[in-house]
Structure 1
């Protein structure tokens, strides 16, 4: 490269940085679209609306939620990946974001076409069984599964869903042979677990809490690293000898190319919004714990998740395409 070309490149880079900084200084000057790639009324959608309200108050502009459900979240994600990278279209996604790429052929790459802005909340999965189930611990379930290979079952809300993958992780860590029973949603799966049609299910805390308190489900374990404040008597999987530290998570992403000063302003605003006591309480009521990570920490987390779930999919021969 000649000296003139080098000078031109440096000038262009400087111009882009300056324009990005200028954009961030005024950002946002209008409403921000936040695409939730799941149906309205679900766990991610409910959390997104709580966070959007607090974030909008912080940024002094409305955050408009748009639900674009389909293909385990990849339809909405694709729309954001193709959006203008100006900070006015964001993606509010969940654990499927790091599972879809290892199972499906997608029109985007998670860490190439998106900028991770912040992991905002997390929630453990709870291994639940019917209240009248003979199993009172993970070990009792594992022992029964080993005594009758291929007889016990676990539900999920679809092949390749996070809940399915967690069930496969249980099989991998314990060496048991249990049968996967996929449903078209979490609600029918929970109904059949409560009625004893299926033996167990890894429900997120938000969906299972009321049934556990109502004595319709029994929680054998939490998949989180430590016991939850809402269910202090429910031991973790690790406490019961099963290596597992998995949580359902939600996070906010921007299209690749969004100016770094805009990402920084968004990240700081999200951190502020997540410190609001009312927001924290509302999210806790959904069984979710506030996170609020930096963009760098969130990128590292996504990279690690892609590696982990890719390994689980390969070892258990899980393929969708």
Structure 2
């Protein structure tokens, strides 16, 4: 049977637009079931706090449960590899953070962080705080540097593990200040008992998990590590005020497996930028990142380059 030319063209146009309309319909209905959000550092830490906050916000806005899965281990690489292998359907997401950028150079990975994780949305940037045990007499960064130079390798610098953000932030401080601190890695939340007892004397820790200790007077805060001061600690200087150019902040974003439908990514990106949620982050000392998926892609690419330079120069790379 011969189809008239006009009818043939109409059918061709309909066929070509069908995938777009199907994708649009999928995005409109997404999510139709629970979404799993993986974070790689275990319950109680700053990543877990952020994951639960964004999970609750998205659940409220999208009407489906966002289930937080703590896949701790290998400074976040276990959770990241699970996302790389997950179906690209928008129902398995990753809380991406600065450790992902660090791990790209620190470890020999079976995946490429920039290539294999689809950027979804930036969530928040939060300062680290340079906090010291009260046994350290220094009350300013300058006094601490002077004390450290007079006591090389006698100050224990705690971290949440080799290659963690607190570790590399401390290494950046050591390099820029010209001091020799003794690095002591701990497993996650074990850092705080060590600091409370004075077993460790200095820690570059996330503000979210440190703020209650600071408010209780357990530690003395010498600086925040973002480029500017924190609104909730306005009297605490930025470390860059003493060490020009120093910046090492915790940031958190949403990622997905590559080939996740663009329409799903765009919908999640829009829902993350909820003003009420962003105001809640601000009350906790965070600065909302926002922006497009492309903005997040640039952030992680820039962070990979930044930490790569430090890791290679300090010979920190692990297998």
TM-score above 0.5, yes or no: yes
1:174 Cα deviation from its structure 2 partner:
1.8
Matched, 1:297 2:295: yes
Is this contact kept in 2: 1:129–1:194, CA < 8 A?
Answer: no
Structure 1 unmatched runs, 5+: 1-10
- Supply the distance in 1 between the matched residues of 2:82 and 2:29 (Cα, whole angstroms): 25
Deviates further, 132-141 or 163-172: 132-141
Contact 1:125 1:248 in 2 (8 A): yes
Structure 1 residue 163, shift from structure 2 partner: 0.6
1:113 Cα deviation from its structure 2 partner:
0.9
Tell me the C-alpha RMSD between the 2 structures: 2.2
Match of 1:253 in 2: 255
Matched residue, 2:225: 223
Q: Residue 5 of structure 1 corresponds to which residue in structure 2?
A: none
243 and 13 in structure 1: CA distance in 2 versus 1, 3 angstrom threshold? farther
Is 1:188 paired with 2:182?
Answer: no
Partner residue, 2:316: 318
CA pair 310-225 structure 1, distance change in 2 beyond 3 A:
same
Asked whether the 8 Å contact 2:157–2:181 carries over to 1, the reply is: yes
Q: Secondary structure at the match of 1:33?
A: strand
TM-score normalised to structure 2 length = 0.89
1:90-146 per-position Cα deviation (integer Å, ceiling 9, x unaligned): 111322111111111222111111111112122111111123421111111112222
Task: Report the CA distance between 1:311 and its aligned residue.
Answer: 0.5
- Residue by residue over 1:141-164, the C-alpha shift from the partner in whole angstroms, topping out at 9 and shown as x without a partner, is 112222333333311111111110
Normalising to structure 1: TM-score of the pair? Answer: 0.88
Of 151, 156, 162, the match for 1:159: 162
CA distance in 2, matches of 1:107, 1:240: 39
State how 1:71-110 maps to structure 2 within 5 Å. Answer: 71-110=74-113
**2:200 corresponds to 1:198:** yes
CA distance in 2, matches of 1:208, 1:197: 17
Distance verdict in 2 for CA 1:229–1:22, change over 3 Å: same
**Residues 241 and 78 of structure 1, relative CA distance in 2, 3 Å threshold:** closer
- 1:145 counterpart residue number: 148
Alignment counterpart, residue 21 of structure 1, candidates 13, 21, 24: 24
More deviation, 50-59/15-24:
15-24
Q: Which has the larger radius of gyration?
A: 2
Q: Say if 1:190 and 1:201, in contact at 8 Å, map to a contact too.
A: no
Asked whether the equivalents of residues 174 and 242 of structure 1 are also in contact (C-alpha less than 8 Å), the reply is: no
Following superposition, the deviation at residue 233 of structure 1 comes to 0.8
- The answer as to whether partners of 1:31 and 1:88 remain within 8 angstroms in 2 is yes
Structure 2: segments with no counterpart, 5+ residues: 1-13
